Copies of this chain bind each other. A is one copy, B any other.
Amino acid sequence: MTPIEVDVAIIGAGSAGMSAYKAVRQHTERVLVIEQGPYGTTCARVGCMPSKLLIAAAEHAHAIAHGAPFGIRVAGMVVDGEAVMARVRRERDRFVGFVLETVEGWPAAHTLTGRARFVAPGVLAVGDTRVHAGRVIIATGAVPSVPPGWRDRLGDRLIVNDDVFDWTTLPASVAVVGTGVVGLELAQALHRLGVRVRLFGRSRRVGPLTDPALQAAVTHWIEATLPYSGNVGEPDVRRDGDGVVVTWQGADGEHSERFDYLLAAAGRAPDIAGLDLDKAGIPLDERGRPTFDPATCRIGDTPIFIAGDADNDRPVLHEAADDGRIAGHNAGRYPDVRAEPRRTALTIVFSDPQMAIAGASHAELTRHGTAFAHGEVSFADQGRARTMGRNLGTLRVYGSPADGRLLGAEIFGPDAEHLAHLLAWAIQRGDTVADALAAPFYHPVIEEGLRTALQRLAKALRNGG
């Protein structure tokens, strides 16, 4: 077959690849997007959107089950699993539909279906087709990590988050292994929807927060809220008829429990194994992953770029879109490669209470040896949180003793997603604690909890950190 020759080849048509394509086209029409599977992004198909749909149902069920303190009683709550999953799938399909509409608007010559692998620098094989590309953008995304052997042992009773959103009803029981974002969000949502859940943590750590005070608050909460077994290492799992039996060592000896499914939520890894990157002429680290510059998304000094979850750096949607834009422009106008400013870091877990990190985490400040003081607030007696019966959690905000600037914050509490935006924007502008305290705080709002923490941070900074 005649080889295809393009200026830019993009491997993967997810969020990063689509964003890259849009940017590349501002520079050249000689572009090819290579996608191996069905179109649609991780976000829309199996990530952000369907998880928020499941969580919305779970929050309704939770509100209904907890109306009594407010004077609202209900008789006979029924979680109709088919109806719950029908809404999740219907709305998910709608979001995916928007993605497909976009892709369908692309010229046919700009897309190629198949699995791409490098055969030489600048040369890709896609089935029988050779693609010669001046520049390549790797935007293959990530796939759920499953411990070795589990798929063989558990068969179709081993599921990952992707599978959950294709359910046509809710199962009776699920073991969730992994206490990262995906594990936490799904375990809590399924639990609230009446599914018998047990959450297994391989270490003691729960969620992304790194401040020891926040980790303690989160651990205390998860132990009080969910059937939870932490620090179990890799539990023993085996197939048992139509189910799965998990055996683990607790503080008080060995336990076994049987579930309909085991949901492996042990993180996601870049989907780069089949790319034959060793033939791409790019620098790889000891794990075989490309080393790249986040300001340009360029791998070493090569014409190869990487964007989105494939780069294993900040695997969240808005960063993937930025990656794609930066990689796309740089690949499009290559060799004029420009460094772009990145946004202040922002991570959110849509648990209840939510978790969030804005700017630098406690671990990052510590790792970099940055001098910092903190201000803390508990939401236990925060006025607005208490009126809503959502008075649980802790917030810590970090500031610099050198110049009073805000450095970062870790949040476990109500409306953390909104507090995190407020803080991330303030950090990005270089605001000091005094700047933030001069801004308006309405009453009664959750933001007043942040004000208390900022006042304490100001005091700590006055007292020498």
Given known contacts A49-B444, A61-B67, is B426 in contact with A425 (CB within 8 Å)? yes
Interface residues of A in 291-334 (CB under 8 A from B): 316-318
Is B421 a contact partner of A318 (Cβ separation < 8 A)? no
Given known contacts A87-B70, A387-B53, is B75 in contact with A76 (CB within 8 Å)? yes
A204 in the interface (beta carbon within 8 A): no
Interface residues of A in 166-213 (CB under 8 A from B): none
Report how far A345 CA is from B439 CA in the complex, Å: 10
Q: How far is the CB of A444 from chain B (nearest CB, A)?
A: 5
Q: Which residue of B lies closest to A66 (CB)?
A: B60
Report how far A218 CA is from B424 CA in the complex, Å: 31
Q: Which of A78-86, A125-133, A274-282, A456-464 contacts B (4 or more CB under 8 A)?
A: A78-86
Interface residues of A in 40-74 (CB under 8 A from B): 43, 48-49, 52-53, 55-57, 59-61, 63-64, 66-74
A7 in the interface (beta carbon within 8 A): no
Is A440 a contact partner of B72 (Cβ separation < 8 A)? no
Q: Which of A235-243, A245-253, A412-420 contacts B (4 or more CB under 8 A)?
A: A412-420
A95 in the interface (beta carbon within 8 A): yes
A268 in the interface (beta carbon within 8 A): no
Partner of A386, one of B64, B91, B425: B91
CB-defined contacts of A415 to chain B, threshold 8 Å:
418
Q: How far is the CB of A169 from chain B (nearest CB, A)?
A: 10
A77 in the interface (beta carbon within 8 A): yes
Scoring A residues 359 to 397 as 1 if CB is less than 8 Å from chain B, else 0, what string do you get?
A: 000000000000000000000000110111100000000
A221 in the interface (beta carbon within 8 A): no
Q: Which of A24-32, A105-113, A137-145, A428-436 contacts B (4 or more CB under 8 A)?
A: A428-436
CB-defined contacts of A440 to chain B, threshold 8 Å:
318, 343-346, 421, 424-425, 428
A422 in the interface (beta carbon within 8 A): yes
Partner of A439, one of B78, B91, B343, B384: B343
Report how far A424 CA is from B440 CA in the complex, Å: 7
Q: How many residues of A contact B (CB 8 A)?
A: 75
Partner of A70, one of B57, B384, B424, B442: B57
Given known contacts A43-B443, A383-B95, A431-B429, is B84 in contact with A71 (CB within 8 Å)? yes
Scoring A residues 148 to 170 as 1 if CB is less than 8 Å from chain B, else 0, what string do you get?
A: 00000000000000000000000
Report how far A418 CA is from B69 CA in the complex, Å: 26
Is B429 a contact partner of A316 (Cβ separation < 8 A)? no
Given known contacts A52-B444, A425-B426, is B74 in contact with A74 (CB within 8 Å)? yes
Is B72 a contact partner of A60 (Cβ separation < 8 A)? yes
A348 in the interface (beta carbon within 8 A): yes
Report how far A49 CA is from B415 CA in the complex, Å: 18
CB-defined contacts of A64 to chain B, threshold 8 Å:
63-64, 67, 72, 74
CB-defined contacts of A48 to chain B, threshold 8 Å:
443-444
Is A443 a contact partner of B384 (Cβ separation < 8 A)? no
A147 in the interface (beta carbon within 8 A): no
Q: Which residue of B lies closest to A86 (CB)?
A: B71
CB-defined contacts of A341 to chain B, threshold 8 Å:
438
CB-defined contacts of A43 to chain B, threshold 8 Å:
443
Partner of A442, one of B49, B76, B421: B421
Partner of A80, one of B72, B318, B426: B72
Is A70 a contact partner of B52 (Cβ separation < 8 A)? no
Q: Add 14 more A-B contacts to A49-B444, A56-B70, A318-B441 (CB < 8 A).
A: A48-B444, A52-B388, A56-B389, A69-B87, A70-B84, A71-B87, A72-B77, A72-B80, A73-B78, A74-B74, A344-B440, A346-B442, A348-B442, A421-B439
